Amino acid sequence: MNGLELEELRTGQGGFSVGPVSLAIPSGTATVLLGPSGAGKTTLLRAIAGFLPLQHGEVLVDERPVGAAPPEARRFGFVPPNLGLFPQRRVRDNVRYPLELRGDPEADSKTDRWLARFGLEPLARAFPHTLSSGQRQRVAMARALAAEPRVLLWDEPLSALDVESRDSLIRLLRDLIESEAVPLLLVTHDPTTAFALASRVVVLEGGRIRADRTPEELARGPLDRFLARFLGYENLYTSAELAGARTHPLGALLADRGGAGGLAIPPDAIAWQPGPAGPHEARVAALRWTAAGWVVALRHGPLVLHSRVPGAVPGVRVGDTVTLHVDPHRLRPLENPTGEAAP
């Protein structure tokens, strides 16, 4: 296979172990490594890049093993969270550096090409500290790709960006890895980035793979509480919580639809209207503004359900009575976690 492969890779640092991890990332595709802090994402990325030794297994590029090679011999583009730009070098010199390092006779023309592709020509003589976060990300991307890497490894690339800058860079990065046929392994804790960019999403927990699926498979397939939380579900209820709500009409419906691990409900599957108009009454417990619109917390017996209201301020106040409507087709039963890799 052309691209990056990991075969039963094990590594570790400071008493923390990662693996075994087996992955295949074809050229021209992106795989996102998703998980909470401390899951082992950065440790795995550093082992692939050669900065940490392998305890077992192999790293292959285009079917050739490179696990014993030093980092500089692997020709991997590795971008750390701080981007690693040289503060004393101007933008043009940062992008030119990897070409200069290997004595490329076309360093000047290649640098110009990458500056143009990333829209950095007006900033060519600027120093990194004068740039915005999004501009610095573009410089890091241009420098990484100017080195003509066989694999691109990126650690939390978009965490400091606003939504507009992030979306713009995701589109640019997606187009570039396809046009340059480079396999990308990107570490993040943000599911939004994962679903916007990835061909596959790998969820890591405690140094082990919990799921390795396409974004669609991950969104629609079996869930446990851990995966549901990382997919952005706010309405997560255990089996015990659902059992305690059975004496309430809506609680009984939810309990019947739950799985062994409980139930997840998307916020947009919960609708409501002001005033008591049926058996599924609730009281407004809280109102909260988010970038995606208002979130209304509604208490129905022992359960609190969160509903999103895009646009204008909801026409209710805390303490008001409303009638709930839950789309039964959108309910997601949860499995008990197994601790094993998902298929």
Q: Tell me the per-residue pLDDT of 59-96, one tens digit each, with 9 for 90 and over.
A: 999 999 999 999 988 889 888 888 889 999 999 999 99
Kindly report the CATH number assigned to the domain that includes residue 176: 3.40.50.300
One domain for residues 186 and 283: no
pLDDT at position 226 is 82
What is the pLDDT, as a whole number, of residue 131?
A: 93
User: Are residues 103 and 175 located together in one domain of the fold?
Assistant: yes
Calpha distance 285→305 (Å, rounded):
9
In a domain, 194, yes or no: yes
Question: In terms of domains, do 31 and 132 share one?
Answer: yes
Say whether pLDDT at 189 is over 90: no
CA atoms within 13 A on the CB side of 126: 13
Q: Which amino acid is at 193?
A: T
Hey, which of 91-105, 220-234, 311-325 has the most confident mean pLDDT?
91-105
Predicted pLDDT of residue 340: 39
Per-residue model confidence (pLDDT) at position 105: 92
Query: Has residue 142 got a pLDDT over 70?
Result: yes
Answer with the one of 199, 222, 245 that is the final residue of a domain: 222
Mean pLDDT, range 183-191, rounded to an integer: 84
- Residue 50 near residue 69 (C-beta atoms within 8 A): yes
Domain count, the chain: 2
Pairing relationship of beta strands 200-205 and 262-265 according to DSSP bridges: unpaired
pTM of the model: 0.77
Task: Please tell me whether residues 209 and 259 are part of one structural domain.
Answer: no
Average pLDDT, stretch 159-186?
A: 80
Q: Which of 66-70, 127-131, 250-254, 337-341 has the lowest mean pLDDT?
A: 337-341
Co-location of 263 and 213 in the same domain: no
294 pLDDT exceeds 60?
yes
- Considering the domain boundaries, does residue 235 fall inside one? yes
Q: What pLDDT score does 165 carry? A: 74
Q: What is the pLDDT at residue 312? A: 66
Does 118 fall in a domain?
yes
122 lies in the same domain as 49: yes
**pLDDT band (50, 70, 90) for residue 337:** low
Whether residues 206 and 299 fall in one domain = no
Among 222, 238, 260, residue at a domain's last position: 222
Cβ-based neighbour number of residue 246 at 10 Å: 14
Kindly state whether residue 342 falls inside one of the protein's structural domains. Answer: no
Mean per-residue pLDDT, 114-132: 94
Distance CA 279, CA 248 (A): 9
Residue 30 to residue 21: CA distance in whole angstroms? 17
Do residues 144 and 291 both lie within one domain? no
CATH number, domain at 240? 2.40.50.140
Residue 335: strand pairing partners: 224
Q: What is the mean pLDDT of residues 157-179?
A: 76
Q: Report the side by side order of strands in the sheet with 56-61.
A: 16-26, 3-13, 56-61, 64-65
Answer whether residue 203 is part of any domain.
Answer: yes
Domain boundary pick from 179, 205, 222:
222
Per-residue model confidence (pLDDT) at position 343: 35
Distances (CA, A) of 59 to 34, 125, 225, 273, 322: 20, 38, 32, 56, 57
pLDDT category of residue 107 using cuts at 50, 70 and 90: very high
For 86-100, 133-147, 157-171, which range has the lowest pLDDT when averaged over its residues?
157-171
Domain-embedded: residue 341:
no
Which domain covers residue 165, as residue numbers? 3-222
Is there a domain that residue 26 lies in?
A: yes
Q: Indicate if 211 and 238 belong to the same structural domain.
A: no
Instruction: Report pLDDT digits (tens) over 9-44.
Output: 999 888 899 989 999 999 999 999 988 888 899 999
Indicate whether 245 and 311 sit together in one domain: yes
Does the pLDDT at position 342 exceed 70? no
164 in a structural domain: yes
Query: Do residue 190 and residue 260 come from a single domain?
Result: no
Same domain, 234 and 192: no
Residues 6 or more apart in contact with residue 250 via CB below 8 angstroms: 279, 280, 300, 301, 303, 324, 326
